[in-house]
């Protein structure tokens, strides 16, 4: 069986699956815990969620036993995939994570593996459980794999996923394989500079795409347009407030959303000019509001793409996976050949 974990700033969500090529998604179990503070507590939480999922999956009658028979009979093999935000090396070391303060240079693969193996060994009742693999990947890479396997990009050879959340994340499949870059750091689309004299980004640069085309970007655009927050002056406007204003028919809100769509389109055009993908999938928290901005994003994309009228365009789609995309994709990642 595959266990996938999605570690975020506020929660650690996990799913248990049996990934079988060409078969529809079947989630055996789902579990979540709040993300605590501190590296040790976070590692323990991940292990706790993984262990709870194993127990639930066993109760649901998981069948993925070793196929060799003989001495392998009665053993259940577990592949664990972990999606985490930030810069993750290809061997599972978290170099840095903006959403998890203090987590620098943490060997997540090794730490989680040791702790989970210990916990599985201490389990007294059969069947025997064997942790065969632990794979740690960037959370947006995982979300891209979820869309590629079960979502809007099934069958695509060249796929780009862009997650519009508090920031902007990205993941790619190129030539029918997940693409992570030489060191594992590919897909940091959110820090592509699109306005050199623009807003300061927590990363130290100015004018990064995610300062404009993300949820926090939408909030900033709303503030710049001097929209009145329903919570009164002095309380920062949130992306949700802009969305609510647009839905309530606000003219200023609609202008803000149009300007937001332009920033999103601009980034997508840059990506398409570089990568020429088959499909670009827009996911993340803002995908649930896609109807408010995607028609304009698609219109502008078609207008701004290099030599637009003389070429094939990528499909631009909205992600189909729900909030479990990262966890599902982490499980998929663990199921793929190394
Ligand atoms: Zn940045």
Q: In this predicted model, what pLDDT tens digit does every residue of 107-137 receive, in sequence order? A: 999 999 999 999 999 988 888 899 999 999 9
More confident residue, 322 or 259: 259
Measured in Å, residue 285 CA sits from the centre of ligand 1 at: 19
**Closest by Cα among 221, 184, 166 to 108:** 184
The continuous run of DSSP H or E covering 151 comes out as none
Measured in Å, residue 49 CA sits from the centre of ligand 1 at: 31
Measured in Å, residue 96 CA sits from the centre of ligand 1 at: 14
Q: Taking all residues of the chain, what is their mean pLDDT, rounded to a whole number? A: 91
The pair phi, psi for residue 327, each rounded to 5°, is -70, -40
| pLDDT range class, residue 227, cuts 50, 70, 90 | low
Mean pLDDT of 245-272: 95
Measured in Å, residue 211 CA sits from the centre of ligand 1 at: 8
The listed CATH number (2.60.40.10, 3.30.420.40, 3.30.200.20, 3.20.20.150) that belongs to domain 155-318: 3.30.420.40
Measured in Å, residue 16 CA sits from the centre of ligand 1 at: 34
Measured in Å, residue 305 CA sits from the centre of ligand 1 at: 24
3-state secondary structure 3-69: EEEEECCCEEEEEEECCCCCCCCCEEEEEEEECCCCHHHHHHHHHHHHHHHHHHHHHCCCCCECCCC
| pLDDT range class, residue 70, cuts 50, 70, 90 | very low
Q: Do domains 2-143+325-335 and 155-318 have the same CATH topology?
A: yes
Alpha-carbon 214 to chain mean position? 14
| pLDDT range class, residue 69, cuts 50, 70, 90 | very low
The listed CATH number (3.40.50.1260, 3.40.640.10, 3.30.420.40, 3.90.1300.10) that belongs to domain 2-143+325-335: 3.30.420.40
Measured in Å, residue 216 CA sits from the centre of ligand 1 at: 13
Secondary structure E strands in 165-275: 168-174, 177-179
Measured in Å, residue 310 CA sits from the centre of ligand 1 at: 33
Measured in Å, residue 104 CA sits from the centre of ligand 1 at: 18
Q: State how far the Cα of 301 lies from the Cα of 316, in Å rounded to an integer.
A: 9
| pLDDT range class, residue 78, cuts 50, 70, 90 | very high
Which residue ranges make up each domain of the chain?
A: 2-143+325-335, 155-318
Task: Region of 238 please: left (phi>0), alpha (psi -120 to 50) or beta.
Answer: beta
Q: In this predicted model, what pLDDT tens digit does every residue of 281-329 receive, in sequence order? A: 999 999 999 999 999 999 999 999 999 999 999 999 999 998 999 999 9
Measured in Å, residue 71 CA sits from the centre of ligand 1 at: 53
Query: Taking the model in full, what pTM does it have?
Result: 0.91
Measured in Å, residue 199 CA sits from the centre of ligand 1 at: 10
Measured in Å, residue 165 CA sits from the centre of ligand 1 at: 14
What does the DSSP assignment read for 76-111?
A: EEEEEEEEESSEE-TTSEEEE-TTSTT--SEEHHHH
Measured in Å, residue 206 CA sits from the centre of ligand 1 at: 7
Measured in Å, residue 187 CA sits from the centre of ligand 1 at: 13
């Amino acid at each position: 069986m595959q266990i996938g974990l999605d570690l975020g700033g506020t929660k650690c969500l996990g799913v248990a699956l049996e990934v079988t090529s060409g078969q529809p998604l079947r989630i055996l179990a789902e579990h979540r815990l709040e993300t605590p503070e501190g590296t040790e507590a976070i590692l323990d939480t991940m292990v706790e969620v993984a262990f709870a999922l194993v127990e639930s999956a066993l109760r649901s009658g998981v069948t993925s036993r070793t196929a060799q028979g003989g001495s392998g009979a009665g053993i259940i093999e577990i592949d664990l995939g972990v999606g985490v935000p930030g810069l993750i090396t290809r061997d599972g070391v978290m170099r840095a994570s903006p959403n998890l303060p203090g987590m620098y240079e943490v060997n997540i693969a090794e730490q989680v593996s040791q702790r989970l193996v210990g916990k599985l060994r201490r389990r007294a009742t059969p069947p025997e459980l064997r942790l065969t693999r632990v794979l740690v990947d960037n959370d947006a890479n995982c979300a891209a794999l979820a869309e590629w396997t079960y979502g809007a990009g099934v069958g695509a050879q060249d796929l780009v996923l862009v997650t519009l959340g508090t920031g902007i994340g990205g993941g790619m499949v190129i030539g029918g394989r997940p693409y992570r870059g030489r060191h594992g750091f590919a897909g940091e689309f959110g820090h592509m500079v699109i306005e050199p004299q623009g807003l300061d980004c927590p990363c130290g640069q100015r004018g990064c795409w995610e300062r404009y085309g993300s949820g926090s970007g939408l909030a900033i655009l709303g503030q710049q347009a001097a929209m009145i927050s329903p919570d009164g002056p002095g309380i920062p406007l949130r992306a949700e407030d802009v969305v609510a204003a647009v839905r309530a028919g606000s003219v200023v809100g609609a202008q803000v959303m149009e300007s937001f769509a332009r920033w999103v389109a601009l980034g997508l055009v840059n990506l398409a000019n570089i990568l020429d993908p088959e499909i670009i999938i827009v996911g993340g928290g803002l995908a649930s509001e896609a109807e408010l901005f995607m028609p304009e994003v698609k219109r502008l994309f078609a207008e701004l793409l290099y030599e637009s009228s003389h070429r094939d365009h990528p499909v631009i789609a909205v992600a189909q996976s729900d909030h479990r995309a990262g966890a599902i994709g982490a499980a998929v990642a663990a199921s793929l050949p190394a």
